[in-house]
Structure 1
Amino acid sequence: MLDKDNSKVLEDQLSWLQSYINSSEKKSQLYKRTLVIVIISQIFGGAGLAAGVTVGALLAQNMLGTDSVTGIPTALFTLGSAGAALLIGRISQRFGRRAGLTTGFLVGGIGAIGVIISSLTTSIGLLFVSLLIYGAGTATNLLARYAGTDLANSKQRATAASMALVSTTFGAVMGPMLVDVMGNLALSMSIPALAGPFILAAAAYILAGLILLAFLRPDPFIVAKAIANAQQTNGTHLSEEEANGSGTNKRGIFAGTTVMVMTQFVMIAIMTMTPIHMGHHGHNLKEVGLVIGLHVGAMFFPSLITGYLVDKVGRTIMAIASGITLLTSGILAAVGPADSMALLITALVLLGLGWNFGLISGTAIIIDATHPSTRAKIQGSVDVLIALSGALGGGLSGMVVAHSSYATLSFAGATFSLVVIPVVVWSHINQNKGQ
């Protein structure tokens, strides 16, 4: 009797999957619905990310009473993000995007709650552990860009990824604006004001997770795997490599990873030291905030246009554009007068734009180079490297400036940005040879 019940369940599962395999219209409808759900969840996810990051260093400083630990929260976010990216990628590969992304956001929300409790109990150990866990939300925010691409065709993938990035921006802009409001709310609840933004972070992350849990069904990644398996079985719409059972292009994975890792490294290194550089040359906090605010805007707001260009003019061209844009940014930051707001703004806007070009083109290259049978796991592993490269860039930037200058750092960043060009050209040439 039990075997019959299990058989019936399996037949039902195969039936609904078959309906998506056989109907391009149903696949298209699910693709559009998935984008809407991802966009909504990312708005909340962005709010959770930005609200906590804004005051993390200040909270650590307040609890420990020293400036020497203000860099620890960022380090813990990054470390937690790297570990979570690996875990979420593997959960998504086995159980689908819904399970992986929901887990990541809920864990991030639990981390935010832990930060609140640590502020009430003045427990430094709990604060650091909670910040590490909170990093799961950061990883999930970035990995969610892949969810909308699972059912996209090769001419839609970059655009789909860019939609997730744009929607994250809305939350990321809203979160810091609510810092004072959340601080006052926290005080009314007898919670330290600096923990207030983590109340928003906890609520936003948990809500983002619940939205995905409730509405990201059918799971786009499970459907995409079923379609790919059916095509492989039938031998249709496959390249020779895929027909032989391997849909993985290692050169493409290397190229896409290199683009995203190097752009992250260069962007974080120069961005991290720009406020310090400006402070040393008499710029006030308002001016620093303007430069960094415009930089962050350039990182995300152009995403829809970038996604369109990546899909239309090609991954390789836009990856090369990323390297050239970062090169220009580094040179301007290095040679421009330190008292010139116009040049600093131009350099940092180009820095954000170059990162945007690199992230979206690199994301599309990775998707093109992977097969659904391993795609989510590879994506998670790549995002681990992105997180670690950012941590390395931020850490090394301070050492370079301390032992040399901001100009040296900027020139070094400009030089490193050129690495992406020969790598993507090499990958593109080898890909064309294989066709």
Structure 2
Amino acid sequence: MTRTTTTATGIPVRPEVQRRILTVLVASQILSGAGLAAGVTVGALLAQDMLGSTSLAGLPSALFTAGSALAAVAVGRVSQARGRRPGLAAGYLTGAVGSAGVLAAAVLDQPALLFAALFVYGAGTATNLQARYAGADLAAPAHRGRAVSTVLVATTLGGVAGPNLAAPTGHLAETLGMPHLAGPFILAGLAYALAALVLAVWLRPDPLLLARALAEEEAAAADAPAGPADLPEGRGGVALGGLVMVLSQLVMVAIMTMTPVHMHDHGHGTAASGLVIAVHIGAMYLPSPLTGWLVDRLGRLKVAAASGLTLLASGTLAALAPGDSVPLLALALALLGVGWNFGLVAGTAIITDTVPLATRARTQGLVDVAVAVAGATGGMASGIVVAATGYPALALAGGVISLALLPVVAATARRRP
């Protein structure tokens, strides 16, 4: 049934509400993207500067990931109980508190406080990803891929602006009597706080709560119970969608993490490796509108399979590319970003399709924990693999691992009526 009027309880029609919700989410994602990118840009450098050593400079990345994993559970549970608006706003506010803690640690020169604050700051990362689910809550099944991609691509705008503001915010920090490297965390704290404010004030009606109300109303009108009747299929959807995102994240982080090291070992400077990583990040988010259209038009399973094939192409090219070839490595990392994007959008749509509204937010939070753990595992294991066998072996192994998606997708397609 197509809904063209307000519901009996006065709830606005779904298309107008969905447009408003996407607008608010895009605004918050631009802000949070700036906060995320600004902090990540200098986190390792700040740790290295405070400790006077590079031995623990990689710890900030691990702390971001650990903090984001815990926050994904918390945001999911709050959203499940009270709606997306309080869940997402609380997550961004926690990220702002973490940013303030980093500033305090920099001023007081307290490394222990820095690491604790970076763990809290990781909540912003988790919330930034969780927002994509809010975009899909009210979307029609035929448009869920595009709704998810709209929220994702907005992160790119802030993600590009954040690192470019590192120098001006550094000068501001020095003016305020803080270390130069603390400056981006001023931006991060303000950006996260503003993102929380935008959501708290304007994300009304709450998309998840409204989706539940509409589902209950439709079920009552049809005199049938709300939600999917086939629970095993729902669990299978969670497993499939989670596997797609977990493998995409594992392979992407492993290859991405060691590419700058590989380039450095072949004599490239930070400008060259920075260019390759910039191409990679752009490929992670900018194709989102096209990916969303493909997910809706061709189907979730076909795009999930395309994710595995694209990641295989990326790993193979990265393994075979000469170490002195910046263009080929940039192309390999671009394919890596596109493959990850395919997996994230398709996996998100699969989970949203198959999880009942009654448990949707909590389940999505748990899936994102698995994604965060996969990223941490890929990052930590990549260094060990490269030290033992070399970068080409790591890249090729990542591509081969991604092929595990194909038989699972094929088996799921065969089971479908």
Report the equivalent of 2:291. Answer: 306
Tell me the secondary structure at the aligned position of residue 142 of structure 2.
coil
Q: Which letter maps to 1:151?
A: L
Matches of 1:86 and 1:133, distance apart in 2: 14
Preserved contact between residue 24 and residue 198 of structure 2 (Cα < 8 Å): yes
Matches of 2:48 and 2:350, distance apart in 1: 41
Provide the TM-score with structure 1 as the length reference: 0.92
Q: 1:238 and 1:426, CA in 2 relative to 1: closer, same or farther beyond 3 A?
A: farther
Preserved contact between residue 85 and residue 199 of structure 2 (Cα < 8 Å): yes
Matches of 2:392 and 2:178, distance apart in 1: 43
Preserved contact between residue 159 and residue 307 of structure 1 (Cα < 8 Å): yes
- 1:409 has 2:394 as partner: yes
Report the equivalent of 2:17. Answer: 30
Q: Which letter maps to 2:195?
A: A
Question: How many residue pairs were aligned?
Answer: 412
Matches of 1:18 and 1:273, distance apart in 2: 55
Tell me the secondary structure at the aligned position of residue 214 of structure 1.
helix
Preserved contact between residue 248 and residue 371 of structure 1 (Cα < 8 Å): no
Identity of aligned residues (%): 51
- 1:151 has 2:138 as partner: yes
Report the equivalent of 1:19. Answer: 10
Deviations 1:40-98, CA, capped at 9 Å, x for gaps = 00000000000000000010001111100111000000000000000100100110000
- Pairwise CA distance, 1:284: 1.4
- 1:242 has 2:228 as partner: yes
Tell me the secondary structure at the aligned position of residue 395 of structure 1.
helix
- Pairwise CA distance, 1:134: 0.2
Q: Which letter maps to 2:10?
A: S
- 1:295 has 2:280 as partner: yes
Matches of 1:243 and 1:234, distance apart in 2: 17
Preserved contact between residue 228 and residue 234 of structure 2 (Cα < 8 Å): no
Decide which of 79, 91, 114 is 2:101's aligned counterpart.
114
Preserved contact between residue 248 and residue 370 of structure 1 (Cα < 8 Å): no
Report the equivalent of 1:270. Answer: 255
Preserved contact between residue 58 and residue 70 of structure 1 (Cα < 8 Å): yes
Preserved contact between residue 232 and residue 242 of structure 1 (Cα < 8 Å): no
Matches of 1:324 and 1:237, distance apart in 2: 41
Q: Which letter maps to 1:19?
A: G
Matches of 2:62 and 2:21, distance apart in 1: 33
Tell me the secondary structure at the aligned position of residue 242 of structure 1.
coil
Matches of 1:138 and 1:342, distance apart in 2: 30
Decide which of 304, 307, 317 is 2:302's aligned counterpart.
317
Matches of 1:384 and 1:133, distance apart in 2: 15
Matches of 2:290 and 2:162, distance apart in 1: 24
Q: CA RMSD in A?
A: 1.6
Preserved contact between residue 258 and residue 423 of structure 1 (Cα < 8 Å): no
Provide the TM-score with structure 2 as the length reference: 0.96
Tell me the secondary structure at the aligned position of residue 152 of structure 1.
coil
- 1:393 has 2:378 as partner: yes
Tell me the secondary structure at the aligned position of residue 191 of structure 1.
coil
Q: 1:267 and 1:238, CA in 2 relative to 1: closer, same or farther beyond 3 A?
A: farther
> If you compute each CA radius of gyration, which structure gives the higher value, 1 or 2?
1
Stretches of structure 1 that go unaligned for 5 or more consecutive residues are: 1-14
Q: Which letter maps to 2:329?
A: L
Matches of 1:16 and 1:188, distance apart in 2: 55
Structure 1 segment 201-350 matched on structure 2, within 5 A: 201-235=188-222, 242-243=228-229, 246=231, 249-350=234-335
Report the equivalent of 2:72. Answer: 85
Task: Pick which of 221-230 and 108-117 moved more.
Answer: 221-230
Q: 1:383 and 1:181, CA in 2 relative to 1: closer, same or farther beyond 3 A?
A: same
- Pairwise CA distance, 1:231: 2.6
Q: Which letter maps to 1:139?
A: A
Matches of 1:58 and 1:342, distance apart in 2: 27
Task: Pick which of 225-234 and 337-346 moved more.
Answer: 225-234
Preserved contact between residue 88 and residue 100 of structure 1 (Cα < 8 Å): yes
